[in-house]
Structure 1
Amino acid sequence: MNDPARRLTLSADTWDLLWSFVHRILVVNLGLVLGCLPLLIGLLAVAEPWRYPIFFGLLAVLAGPAVAAAFSYLNEEDSRPPVRLFVRAYRRHWRRALAVAAVVTALVGVLVADIAMLYDAMPGAALVPLLVVLAVLLVSAGSCALALLPDSNLGLRSVARVAVYAAVRGWQWSLVSLVVAVVALVLVNQAPLLGLTTVPGCAAWVMLINARFQLNALSLSVVRVGQPPV
């Protein structure tokens, strides 16, 4: 008769894979919390942050380098990459990641302002669905751009062009990434301590997988040599 406990016992390779994943998620959680610390402090200090969009928009830009470093760290081939690789990725990509985050935040801010002005008045309200779609695609394009930064030597213009094309081409993954980001924010808001120790790294991992699906559809062997996707 088979022992149920034996059937539940995992192999050594499976345990190693699980602990490797947990190790990466914990490091990414710590890195994202430290990288987004000004934004987190601002959210804790202000009861109604939506009343100060410019201030919190500037703080949100600081999340770009941390997210790029998280994507780079999650892409490491080592089973348990040391923490210094996260720090190294942050220092290497922070300028370009900051530029990407600044552009995406500014454009999304403009779209949100337009939506707030037009949603209750015709004929402007007819444009709201289009503006919402554009905002979703911008967020997804930003995610793709941050995922592409560590894996290519492309200039920012080429990265932006590839990221936008990938976001439009893989729109279904754009929606998934947006849902994951929203769910992560809700969970962190409901249980800040527990959420910050578990959710950010898992959300970054899912968004990175989605970005890979979107970018792989563009034949990256062509993109990496600097030619536009066809």
Structure 2
Amino acid sequence: MIPRPRHDTIAAVFDGCYTAMVGNMLLVLGCLPLVALALTTDGARAWPLYALVAPLCAPGLCGVFAVMSDYSSGGARGLLRTFGGTWRATARRGILWTAAATAVLVVLGVDAYALWGHRVGALTLPILAVLAVLTAAIALLGLVTIAERPAARLRDVARVCTYLAVRRWYLTAASLLVLALLAQLFVARPAIALGVAAAPLLYVVWSNSRYSLRAALDPPTAAARST
């Protein structure tokens, strides 16, 4: 006899699907300028516009990360309320943080293009590539941190995220690989990427990042303080 699924299991599956669907919608809304550019322009030619628009997506990403955090902790707050409150709380710091990271990536990319094909490039291009990957990793951890602690100083965020991105390098690499997979899927199948895959893949990225930041974000327990 086949056992019937329990009501709480069905409810959990429904809540997960609903959260993923709403998360995809909120992600598109929060990143609408960048999504519109990606769908209507050639990235190789319009990359300066991408660099200008990308920081505007930071509050939306922080809002989506906050929705995932609320869902992971039990989902006591409404999705739209969580997203809207986090968007307002993180708008300034999120945009400044992402603008700084984007500027660094642009400088590294321009330097790499200028050195490509030159003898000195054989020595400097690997260093530039490592710096670009590290910058992207720090930017990602920073957005997760800002979503959790909107009032945190960006200087403190940069110091903590730089340390933890290197210390938890395996989680950092996994998160970046998942983001690369999402980007490739968006290029090949934008509707599937934004309508189906974005929220689950970003949840993996958020989970990895949140675990990396656990020591910085979670207060020590009483047992840990007494040891």
TM range (shorter): 0.7 to 0.9
Give unmatched runs, 5+ long, in structure 2. 221-227
Change (3 A) 1:220 1:83: closer
Q: Specify the alignment match of 1:199 in structure 2.
A: 197
Q: Specify the alignment match of 2:85 in structure 1.
A: 88
Please point out which of 120, 123, 144 is paired with 2:120: 123
Please point out which of 15, 20, 28 is paired with 2:23: 28
Aligned Cα RMSD in Å? 1.9
Change (3 A) 1:125 1:92: same
> Is 1:67 equivalent to 2:67 in the alignment?
no
What is the CA deviation profile of residues 189-228 of structure 1, one whole-angstrom value per residue up to 9, with x for unaligned ones? 2122222111221222111111112112558537xxxxxx
Q: Specify the alignment match of 1:114 in structure 2.
A: 111
CA distance in 2, matches of 1:162, 1:94: 20
Range with greater deviation from structure 2 (9-18 or 90-99): 9-18
Please point out which of 7, 22, 37 is paired with 2:32: 37
Q: Specify the alignment match of 1:53 in structure 2.
A: 47
Shift of 1:13: 2.3
Equivalences, count: 216
Is the Cα contact below 8 Å between 1:166 and 1:217 reproduced in 2? no
Q: Secondary structure at the match of 1:50?
A: coil
Q: How do 1:9-20 residues align onto structure 2 when only pairs under 5 Å count? A: 9-20=4-15
Shift of 1:93: 1.0
CA distance in 2, matches of 1:181, 1:17: 26
Range with greater deviation from structure 2 (210-219 or 122-131): 210-219
What amino acid is aligned across from residue 42 of structure 1 in structure 2?
L
Change (3 A) 1:106 1:18: same
What amino acid is aligned across from residue 99 of structure 1 in structure 2?
L
CA distance in 2, matches of 1:55, 1:150: 25
What amino acid is aligned across from residue 39 of structure 1 in structure 2?
L
Is the Cα contact below 8 Å between 1:137 and 1:174 reproduced in 2? no
Shift of 1:54: 1.6
Q: Specify the alignment match of 1:227 in structure 2.
A: none
CA distance in 2, matches of 1:53, 1:82: 32
Give unmatched runs, 5+ long, in structure 1. 223-230
Change (3 A) 1:134 1:10: farther
Q: Specify the alignment match of 1:173 in structure 2.
A: 171
Q: Secondary structure at the match of 1:51?
A: coil
Is the Cα contact below 8 Å between 1:33 and 1:196 reproduced in 2? yes
What amino acid is aligned across from residue 203 of structure 2 in structure 1?
W
Q: Secondary structure at the match of 2:152?
A: coil
What amino acid is aligned across from residue 31 of structure 1 in structure 2?
L
CA distance in 1, matches of 2:208, 2:165: 10
CA distance in 2, matches of 1:90, 1:137: 25
Please point out which of 203, 211, 214 is paired with 2:212: 214
With normalisation by structure 1, the TM-score equals: 0.86
